[in-house]
Chains A and B, each alone.
Chain A
Amino acid sequence: MSAILAVCEHRDGTLRKVSHEVVTGAHRLGDVEAVLCAAGPVAGADQLGRFGAHTVVTLTNAGFARYAPEGYAQAIAERAKAGSYRAIVFAASATGRDLAPRVAAKLGVGLAGDVTDVAAEGGVILATRPVYAGKALLRVKVTAQPAVLSLRPNVFTPVERPKAGAAETVAVTVPAGRVTVREIKAAEAGALDVAEATIVISGGRGLKEPANFKVVEELARAFGGRAAVGASRAVVDAGWRSHADQVGQTGKTVSPTLYIAVGISGAIQHLAGMRTSKVIVAINKDKDAPIFKVADYGVVGDLFEVVPRLTEEIKKLHG
């Protein structure tokens, strides 16, 4: 079996759940060695064995408490060079999208980013990457040794495959980075990122004005902390919502278990960003809106009547 390096993440010393996905995806390619850059022990790193990591290596440095782009890149690249890994696998998260290209460049190889499927067939690594925001899929062959890949979040459902998960800690020396993360401003408590939430409820122009987003937010709250609020480009461009919430070709591509589009007509660039959701529900007053073409379930009607009713029903389920 080839050795695969799965680059995991933590935030403030606690393992990020996307790491389970990285180990799960990496496991398809071979024997997984999970690696973390941290200042000390990472809470939850011991879970990685459950998802198929035979070893969990923590590369420690006093400067690694937060993401340190240059130090992390050097430490991971040196680890990669020291072993004979067939592939280095990252999450296509905010950190992974920053880190993976740096590591690939240090190794002098390309990066297959944001992949949604990956397999090793006869020694060759094959990956699928959505392009044009998911309007097409590219099937690619990665010939580099090692192959460097990043996995789109929320696609590789974690699978439990217990392995030893033997912990190893290696102190590393890297020069002080020029780029430093001074602080992390937390979003409002409990706010989930649309790219990582299992349920996304997005609002569009049908909400008529920014204050009306509260009907969407109330529905999200009814799901008890599992749902994030998204937005269409029209309402982001109008300044109603932050760009961080935008779903679509110039925003985020999301693949939640449940996507509810509220008052969104379904422009092609929006559909591109959410069509890989497992189940899509559309609520719109226009029965001819293109969103109904991709929705599994549609309700035609006034969202100001339909959404509060749905919120009530969801509360009943969770009550």
Chain B
Amino acid sequence: MKIAVCVKRVPDTETRVRPAADGRTLDEAGVKFILNPYDEFAVEEALQRKEKAGAGEVVVICLGPAAAQETIRTALAMGVDRGILLQTDRIPADGFETAKALAAELKDGGWDLILFGKMAIDDYNHQVGPMVAELLGLPCVTAVAHLELDGGHGVAEREIEGGIEVVEFPLPAVLTADKGLNEPRYPALKGIMAAKKKPLDVRPVQLGAGSIEVLAMTPPPTRKEGKIVGEGPGAVPELVRLLREEAKVL
């Protein structure tokens, strides 16, 4: 199986987010960057599918700054065969621009599967995977939490409100991975050493500005100071009174 996994470098979930001096982007000072957690499920799935098939290639493709080579090395250490960095200093707010750059790279690649995480935990876009599928004319299933593949046919489960949608599709296809799909492996020391020698192509890309312009990044509204109603079960009647009379939510 020949599988491409598109990944993103994102700030760690414990990051305290502050706007930079331009008031529109993240202040990256002191921020630790990681492989997007949903992309880890995509990488793991690709590795398991290749292992099961007994042959094939898993390639990660990342659009991002030079520092994203480190993100790619994380995937290589997990077992991915090679990496491609589509290098750009600025990822536009318009996910369609990212999708176009990735689709141009993926086109005519002869992929059996193209995997993404269901979303990036920084921009929360949930969109690049299905947009790439549209651009390439491939079938697509998003937010896959369970997957069965049998030859050229797949069955995926995706969570919807109040249930699970069972979806059938043919290969090749674009899938986006949700948590629950698998348990991503930790890179072993051997993998980390091997990753240093695996091929990593760096190709500069020019992205369009797109149609979504960021005017400002602001902190969320601060919540007004709350109060401790009391201690132990004795505080419950007062809590209920406040919820009814002050907050008016009961």
A residues adjacent to B (C-beta < 8 A): 16, 67, 69-70, 73, 92-95, 97-98, 100-102, 104-106, 108-114, 126, 129-144, 147, 178-187, 191-193, 195-196, 236, 242-244, 246, 248-251, 253, 257-258, 267-269, 275-276, 278-281, 287, 292-302, 305-306, 308-310, 313-314, 317
Contact = CB atoms under 8 A, between A and B. Distances in A.
A299 B95 contact: no
A130 B143 CA distance: 20
Given A104-B96, A144-B211, A280 B223 contact: yes
Given A140-B215, A296-B223, A299-B231, 7 more contacts: A142-B213, A279-B249, A292-B226, A292-B228, A294-B223, A297-B247, A305-B233
A295 B231 CA distance: 15
B131 interface: yes
Given A178-B139, A297-B242, A106 B155 contact: no
A140 B134 contact: no
A257 B249 contact: yes
Contact of B13 (A143, A246, A269, A313): A269
A132 B11 contact: yes
B155 A182 contact: yes
A186 B163 contact: yes
B223 A181 contact: no
B217 A138 contact: yes
A98 B161 contact: no
Interface of A is mostly: mixed
A298 B164 contact: no
A281 B239 contact: yes
Given A185-B166, A249-B13, A301 B249 contact: no
A110 B97 contact: yes
Contact of B127 (A101, A130, A294): A101
A64 to B, nearest CB: 15
Contacts of A108: 96
A136 B211 CA distance: 21
Nearest to B119: A97
Contacts of A184: 160, 163-166
A187 to B, nearest CB: 5
Interface in B196-250: 210-220, 223-224, 226-233, 235-237, 239-240, 242-244, 247, 249-250
